[in-house]
Amino acid sequence: LRLGQLLLGAACWGTVAAHKYEGAAHFALFAAVLAWLLALAVTGLSLLGRWALVPLLGARWLLANAAQDLLLGAGLYAAAAGVMGHKAERHSYCNLPGYSQPCLYRAYLAAAACAALAAALHLLSGLYCLARRCRGHRDIV
C-alpha cells in the first residue's frame, strides 16, 4: 500500500506540475506534494524502524499513521482529485474530434484519476492501521 501511495502520489503531482496550471490547480499541486512528502517521511521512518525518535508521536505510531493516512493523505488527495476533476470537466469541450488547439483535458483527467486512486490507497491504509490498533498491535508490520 505504501509503495502504491508513493507512486500514485508522484504521478499525480508530476502530472499537475508538468502541464500549465492556474487557479485552483495551485492548491491541487500543493496538496499532492504535501501529502506525498508526508507519506514519504512516514514510510521512511517505518521502514527504518525509527518511529520512536519522533517526539510526541513515537509512542502512538500506529495511531499517528492512521491519522496521517485518513485525515491528511485521503483528505488532501480527495480535494486534489475534486479540483482536477472540476478542471477536466471545464475543459471537456476540447476533447471533441477535430479540435486542433492545445488541450489540457487529458492531463487534468489523469491527475484527477491518480489523486483519486492515491486517496483510496490512503483510506485503505488508514483503515488497516485502525484495525491493527483495535487488535492491540503497536507497530505497522
Query: Mind listing the pLDDT tens digit for each residue in 45-70?
Result: 888 877 777 777 777 888 888 999 99
Which three cell numbers mark 128? 488497516
CA distance 131 to 53: 24
CA distance 43 to 131: 19
Domains of the chain: total = 1
Let me know if residue 116 belongs to a domain: yes
For the chain, give the mean pLDDT: 89
Let me know if residue 130 belongs to a domain: yes
The fraction of the chain above a pLDDT of 70, given in percent, is 98
| pLDDT band of 15, cuts 50, 70, 90 | very high
Q: What is the pTM of this model?
A: 0.89
Digit-coded pLDDT (tens) for 77-118: 999 999 999 999 998 888 788 888 888 899 999 999 999 999
Domain ranges, residue 122:
2-134
CA distance 88 to 93: 9
